[in-house]
Amino acid sequence: MSKKMKLMALNGNIELSKRIADYMNMPLLDCTISHFSDGEISINLNESVRGCSVYILDSVSEPVNDNWMELLIAIDTLKRASVAEVAAVLPYFSYTRSDRKSRSREPITAKLFANLIEMTEINRVVAMDMHADQIQGFFDMPVDHLKAMPLFERYFHDKEANSDVVVVAPSHSSSKRARQLAEVFNSQIAIIDQRKDSKTNVPDIVGNVEGKICIIMDDLIDTGTRLINTARALNVAGADTVYAAATHAIFSGDAAKRLNDSIIKEIVVTDTIVVPEEKKFDKLVRLSVAPIIGDAITSIENHVSTDDLFKMRESVEIVD
């Protein structure tokens, strides 16, 4: 491991940053992040980073816009302190849901933020489960797009290896993700066909789920409405048990309560986003992405392939 590599944690997800640092057996960079009374952000480095390779650890989740500004200011701080290289490690990259124009006169915000990051002239971006794979192409720099799927593969394989499993894509765009998990069980997938003009909250299902163990697989959970409607449809269609899995737990509004009150047996997410105590609930299971991110940073720093990061993990760490 290079002695000149440093990890810098911002406020987006301090808990995960500490887990990554512990996994890598490295300290976090000594820095002070403060806010003036009007909300302006100030970052001061309390140790030299001259000639170092610095990995900024920051999930740009709620408060989204504050965390984006903190990231941009941190990059500027490091560049002015004469670092050799800067990489932005973004376990959660907000705004990636806006990756194309789906109707007239709307922005492509994912591209805007890719441009903002590029303007800082950093060397690399490391992100996890962005909403669409093609967002990597928005950058003219190396982008390591990590996947949390190896964690879900291990977790559900250990739990339901001998069961009759069907993996469910809650939308057509999620079918690739669902098919990858289904390969672990050598099983079929089902796809939810939720038409926007439907007058019912129970969507149609493409595929057979009767008597099956169903795992709904998505990239994120925001309000939870689509997930709950999907679970209800699976129940009506005769599914035996319903699980749900997603990388990013946004849990807007009363999503946590509604999910806990739903028929879903477990909601399995990762720790890419901080889940405050008031939004934790009995059915929630959180898996840590720290080992994947830690291994990715080590591979990048040592100039070795990251192929093994996309294979099923030997074990998973459940947090909280």
List 220's β-bridge partners, or say none.
Answer: 248
Q: What is the pLDDT of residue 195?
A: 62
Q: What is the pLDDT of residue 198?
A: 52
Structure tokens belonging to residue 219: 């990239």
Structure tokens belonging to residue 41: 């952000």
- Quote the CA–CA distance of 19 and 310 in Å, as a whole number: 20
Q: With a threshold of 0.85, does the pTM exceed it? A: yes
Q: What is the pLDDT of residue 1?
A: 46
> Which ranges in the chain belong to alpha helices (H)?
14-24, 64-80, 109-119, 149-160, 175-185, 225-236, 255-260, 290-301
List 216's β-bridge partners, or say none.
Answer: 168, 244
Alpha-carbon distance values, 304 to 37, 181, 219, 294, 308 (Å): 45, 26, 27, 14, 10
Domains plus CATH for the chain? Answer: 5-146 (3.40.50.2020), 149-287 (3.40.50.2020)
| Residues in CB range of 294: below 8 A, 6 or more apart | 20, 23, 24
Q: What is the pLDDT of residue 96?
A: 83
- For residue 155, the one-letter residue type is Y
Alpha-carbon distance values, 308 to 20, 258, 296 (Å): 18, 37, 10
- Quote the CA–CA distance of 141 and 92 in Å, as a whole number: 19
Q: What is the pLDDT of residue 106?
A: 87
Alpha-carbon distance values, 191 to 21, 58, 175, 185, 264 (Å): 39, 33, 7, 17, 17
Answer whether 228's CB lies under 8 Å from 267's CB: no
pLDDT per 10-residue tile (average), the chain, 320 residues: 82 96 96 92 95 95 92 96 96 87 85 92 94 88 95 94 89 87 92 65 80 94 93 93 96 95 96 95 96 96 92 91
SS3 15: helix
SS3 sequence of 190-202: EEEECCCCCCCCC
Q: What is the pLDDT of residue 202?
A: 64
CA angle 219, 224, 229 (to 5 degrees): 105
Give the distance, in angstroms, between the CA of residue 110 and the centroid of all CA atoms in the same chain. 15
